[in-house]
Amino acid sequence: MMSDDSEKPVADPKPDTKSSPPPKPDTKSSPPPKPDTKSSPPPKPASKKPEEKPIELPAFEKGISDKLVEKFGDKVEVGFVKKDRVRINISKENIHKVAEFVRDALNYDHVESVTGVDFPTDKEIEVVYHVGSYTDSSLARQILVLATRAPREENPIPGQDSTRLPSIRDVFYSAEFGEREVFEMLGVYFEGHPDNRRLLLPEDWADLPPLRKDFAIKGR
């Protein structure tokens, strides 16, 4: 099913939304996880130093991020553009649409890993998808990093509180086990995921989700 889409050419400009032609300034060395200085959902680096002579961004990777910015305007924010790695920060309402666009127009076809990172100071949990491509040989060494954030609650009841994200399992099937793992390890419920069950932890686990920062391992 996926590869039917991927037979399309790589460049699919989709000139429907010409809202924001100028691409956002891609700060090359923007460090996304900086859990102490941020409060807004997309991790914008607080120290926004105006780099007068921009460091040369890799052209191909810049093209990918430009396409996304062109399509979605300011709904997406470019985290960094490095060699072979592009990071896009997306709010949780748009993650599904962006994932669909990434699959259909940009030819990415599988999720390599789904990672949850807890940021207690921001009261948010970040979920990061690393998306790659097998079918398009020009993308073989590229990893597109889609990052989104869910609100975090102090006393989590996994599955019932507001820590929710839309699942992209119906876009990228390969995210299925990864999302299940994030659900049990961080308590992020994925709406639309048909199988939000426990995967790795014991059946009788009743503690906090273990990868949250306030879950301390013994003796530390």
Nearest approach in angstroms of CB 195 to other proteins is: 6
Q: Which residues bind other proteins (CB under 8 A)?
A: 1-3, 6, 31-36, 84-85, 87, 109-113, 115, 117-118, 128, 130, 134-135, 140-141, 143, 145, 172-174, 176-177, 185, 194-195, 197, 199-203, 207, 210-211, 215, 217-220
Task: Give all strands (DSSP E) within the chain, no chain letters.
Answer: 76-82, 85-90, 110-119, 124-132, 143-151, 164-166, 189-191
- Helix (H) and strand (E) counts in the chain: 4, 7
Residue closer to other proteins by CB (options 71, 81) is: 81
Residue closer to other proteins by CB (options 16, 203) is: 203
Tell me how far CA of residue 80 lies from CA of 58, 178, 210, in angstroms: 11, 23, 29
Distance of alpha carbon 161 from alpha carbon 158, whole angstroms: 6
Residue closer to other proteins by CB (options 71, 152) is: 152
Residue closer to other proteins by CB (options 58, 73) is: 58
Q: Which residues contact 71 (CB under 8 A, 6 or more apart)?
A: 14, 17, 101, 105
